[in-house]
Amino acid sequence: MNTLAIGPHFERPAFPKLKDEHQVDVPDTEKVVRNFRKIYDWKAYSPEGLRIMESYWDTFVRSAFVPLLPAPMQRDRQRHRGINLGTFNGTYQKAWVRNGYAMYGVEIADVIDELHEYGLEGERASFFDLSSLADGEFDFGVLDRAICTKGFYSTYDRSHDPDPSANERPETVESLFESIFRIIRPGGALIGVLYNWYTGSVVSQLARHGALKLWPTYTGCLGFRVVKDDAGTSVPSIVEEPMTESACFRRFYPVEAGVAALFLPTNEVIVRGHETTCEFAPTSAHWSVLSK
Ligand SMILES: C[S@@+](CC[C@H](N)C(=O)[O-])C[C@H]1O[C@@H](n2cnc3c(N)ncnc32)[C@H](O)[C@@H]1O
């Protein structure tokens, strides 16, 4: 079994300075609410604004995401094909392409026409059901800020359900990673950033699928990489406690160079009868200190 690895804290690039005329309104439709998505919507910019934003997205992918890949995939870009899971209309997917990778995208929202218009390959699908894609089709997958909302847990996380068998919903955190790792080849990688409500059960489920490395990152998010193998990773025992929302604002505290204080779970959500309840005052007993 692999040992959990912890990388150093990393930052995202500074958001560019934009003028009002660099942005355009993209109205919500009945199918797609998009006014909160400007940071990953290429349609929300004028030509000059898009030039500035594309440079930002390129830098973001190059400086924050490519370094999460295994070293051979960082070096030998043309030989590795990835999938962006939750790609919206392709903004970050195209930045991966400009960084040298062949990329496919899947997205649940009805924006695939815009993905194609941007010159990209992909389809409308849920990452819970990737049945149109073959086993081991991709060298790597990117799951960047696409799960870990509160709604995601109240819907899919059954780990605290008093009677999980009473819930017949097939989509769970466990089935999500089964679905995703099926399409990654052995020795391939899933990388990404967990945000907002990432939990111990997500970390444990990721760990089942290979060698897991975690990186603390901006605004308390958690970067991760799993290199797919059958051995999985042993994760330090996870304290099963509910937490308050107010306790969720900080997940990682850098202690000193090379060492990070990591709290697992970070922001556990307890699901009882489909209601999300959070109540917790963290104490030092809930901390684990892990070496790099
Ligand atoms: C924060 S955005 C993605 C940002 C990402 N860095 C990118 O590539 O632009 C999350 C995306 O995941 C999509 N998403 C959420 N649940 C999904 C699912 N079950 N299957 C596919 N896409 C999903 C959302 O519609 C949204 O477009």
pLDDT at 82: 98
Strand 210-216's sheet: what is its strand order? Answer: 5-6, 210-216, 222-228, 184-194, 138-144, 81-85, 102-107, 121-124
260's CB contacts (< 8 A; 6+ apart) are 6, 8, 9, 216, 252, 253, 254, 290, 292
pLDDT at 9: 73
Quick one: average pLDDT of 212-222? 78
Of 271, 269, 275, 218, give the one whose Cα is nearest residue 248.
Answer: 269
Q: Give nearest CA residue, ligand 1 atom 23.
A: 86
Q: Grade residue 85 by pLDDT with cuts at 50, 70 and 90.
A: very high
Task: Return the minimum-mean-pLDDT range out of 13-17, 117-121, 197-201, 259-263.
Answer: 259-263
d(CA 67, CA 60): 11
Cβ of 39 below 6 Å from ligand 1: no
Q: Grade residue 267 by pLDDT with cuts at 50, 70 and 90.
A: very low
Q: Answer yes or no: is pLDDT of 281 > 70.
A: no
Cβ of 109 below 6 Å from ligand 1: yes
d(CA 71, CA 90): 25
Strand 259-262's sheet: what is its strand order? Answer: 252-256, 259-262, 288-291
**Three-class SS state of 216:** strand
Cβ of 41 below 6 Å from ligand 1: no
Task: Return the minimum-mean-pLDDT range out of 55-59, 82-86, 182-186, 204-208.
Answer: 204-208
pTM of this prediction?
0.83
Of 202, 184, 100, 195, give the one whose Cα is nearest residue 145.
Answer: 195
What are 138-155's pLDDT values in tens digits?
A: 999 999 988 876 667 666
Q: Grade residue 202 by pLDDT with cuts at 50, 70 and 90.
A: confident
Q: Give nearest CA residue, ligand 1 atom 27.
A: 88
Quick one: average pLDDT of 37-52? 96
Mean residue pLDDT across the chain: 79
Give the range with max mean pLDDT: 182-186, 193-197, 278-282. 182-186
Cα of 206 to ligand 1 centre, how many Å? 18
The larger pLDDT score, comparing residue 164 to residue 142, is at 142
Q: Answer yes or no: is pLDDT of 58 > 50.
A: yes
d(CA 89, CA 154): 26
Angstrom CA distances, 27 to 18, 20, 36, 86, 111, stand at 20, 17, 11, 20, 13
pLDDT at 210: 98
d(CA 224, CA 152): 18
192's CB contacts (< 8 A; 6+ apart) are 68, 85, 141, 142, 143, 144, 145, 146, 223, 224
As assigned by CATH, the class of the 2-235 domain is alpha beta
Quick one: average pLDDT of 236-263? 38
Q: Answer yes or no: is pLDDT of 176 > 70.
A: yes
d(CA 106, CA 123): 5
The larger pLDDT score, comparing residue 186 to residue 195, is at 186
Q: Could you give phi then psi for residue 219, rounded to 5 degrees?
A: 45, 40
Read out DSSP for 125-178? --TT--TTS-TT-EEEEEEES-S--HHHHHHH--TT-S-GGG---S--HHHHHH
Domains of the chain, by residue range, sit at 2-235
d(CA 12, CA 30): 33
CB 260 within 8 A of CB 215: no
Tokens linked to 103:
């990329």
d(CA 148, CA 159): 14
Q: Answer yes or no: is pLDDT of 57 > 60.
A: yes
**Three-class SS state of 89:** coil
Cβ of 145 below 6 Å from ligand 1: yes
Cα of 24 to ligand 1 centre, how many Å? 22
Cβ of 106 below 6 Å from ligand 1: yes
